[in-house]
Every structure is written in C-alpha cells, then in structure tokens.
Amino acid sequence: MIHELNNLVTVVIPVLNEEKAIGRVIKKVKEEGYYNILVVDGFSSDNTVSQVVRNGEKVIYQTGKGKTGAIKTAIKNIETRYMVFLDGDCTYDPKDIENVVSPLWDADLVIGARALGRKNIPIFNRFGNMMINAIFNLLMGTDLKDVCSGMYGLRTDFARNLTFKTEGFDVEVEIAAQASKYGRISQVPIRYHDRVGLQKLQPVKDGFSIMRRVITMAIKLRLNGEPTKQNILKLHGELPPYK
C-alpha cells in the first residue's frame, strides 16, 4: 500500500560501497509505502549501483566530495515538499520515516534522535556523540539530543537555502547549526540497528573534525550581530532513556 505521505516526501539514501545493505534498505523503505526514493552514489567501487538497479531504483552520481556532496546533489534534484535522509547501511529503520516527516508541517529540520538501540553504536562513538551534543548545545543555545544523527527530515524550500563549507561527516552538524539560527527544529526518537558492512567513520579523526566544525559555526553565527535562536519546537513523542 502506498503511504499517504508518498507524494510529499523523497527518501534520500546516500551510498558509498554499500552492496551488502542497500538492497535491504530499499526493500524496507518500499514496504513502508514510500516509492519516491533517490539513491545518491559517491562513485562506489563495489556492486552498490547494480544492487540499486536490481531493486528497481535509479542512481544519480553525486557532484562534490564526501557525504556533503551527496546531500547537496540530492537537494538540487528533489521536487517534493519534504525529504528524509537515511544511511544505506541498515542502521536506520524505515519504520521511523513517518515519525520524522510528520513534524515537518511546523519544522524546517527534524532530527531523528537515536534513542533506542544505542548499544549498536560503538562505545567510543557514543562518548564522542555525547561530547559533540554537549558542545553544540552550549554554544548554540539549543537542547538537541543527537546532532550527528544520519536520519533527519528537511523542508525542501529551507534546504535549498543551506550553505555548506564541509565535505565530511560533520555535514549534519552544519545543517543543525544553520537550522538553529534561521529555522525551526524538532526531534523525534528513532531506532538504531547494527550496521551491515564496514564502518567508514574514523572516530578520532572525524570526531575532532565535527567538534571543530561546531565551534567554527558557532563563532560564525554569533559574529553577525544576532543571537543564536532557540526555536526548538516541542518534542514530537517522548524520548525514552538512551539504551
């Protein structure tokens, strides 16, 4: 059955060498009734693209480097009112797409906070995420639970006005920083599963890069003469204790 939100949202899946997982992700997204799927490939060297085609979807190749290049490419190609991003490694659950999309009636950015299944995040990464969240909230005047989450929704009109300076895994922080200043943010609890395939994030290197990006964005947003906004909308659904 096609979901009633199908014509309003595009599900974006950035991929790079995800041949073991991408077929499953596409299948699960369709099982939830979403058929506007955009797979953006970062020039995979394995069979990712053939797996996407085998599952009935087209692939577009990203322009620019890193995950940022994939996100920028997606934003330029989306025609629906909303978009939802999730990684192509089976870590994020398509069952949560509706929860992420629904608050976009009022919000510009909806972050899926990984509240259930945090045991599937390596312990060092969990500690790094906690530090990044704390620094982000302190500098941005927010109360966000998971600024590094790879599952989030954006209003397309808001997304088209985003600017990007990064190329790596700190792109989600860059989006959240701009939304905290110029838009409205909501957050919803989502599930997180053990990934399929090799992890690409380098915890130490990428962790420091993300923290540096947080500080840089905070300085930039505060130096233009306006205080950082605190327009964080009421939480849609209670966040259970992290597990």
Q: Is residue 33 part of a domain?
A: yes
Domain count, the chain: 1
Q: Does 5 have pLDDT greater than 70?
A: yes
Q: Is residue 229 part of a domain?
A: no
- Which pTM was predicted? 0.86
pLDDT, tens only, 108-155: 999 999 998 878 877 777 887 888 888 888 888 889 999 989 999 999
Q: Is residue 231 part of a domain?
A: no
CATH code for position 156: 3.90.550.10
Q: Is residue 49 part of a domain?
A: yes
Residue 50 structural domain: 9-222
pLDDT, tens only, 44-72: 999 999 999 999 998 999 999 889 999 99
Average pLDDT of the chain is 85
Q: Is residue 239 part of a domain?
A: no
Q: Does 238 have pLDDT greater than 60?
A: no
Q: Is residue 63 part of a domain?
A: yes
Q: Is residue 14 part of a domain?
A: yes
Q: Is residue 74 part of a domain?
A: yes
Give me the pLDDT at residue 211, please. 64
Mean per-residue pLDDT, 18-25: 96
3-state secondary structure the chain: CCCCCCCCEEEEEEECCCCCCHHHHHHHHHHCCCCCEEEEECCCCCCHHHHHHHCCCCEEECCCCHHHHHHHHHHHHCCCCEEEECCCCCCECHHHHHHHHHHHHCCCEEEEEEEECHHHCCHHHHHHHHHHHHHHHHHHCCCCCCCCCCCEEEEHHHHCCCCCCCCCCCHHHHHHHHHHHHCCEEEEEEEECCCCCCCCCCHHHHHHHHHHHHHHHHHHHHCCCCCCCCCECCCCCCCCCCC
Q: Does 228 have pLDDT greater than 80?
A: no
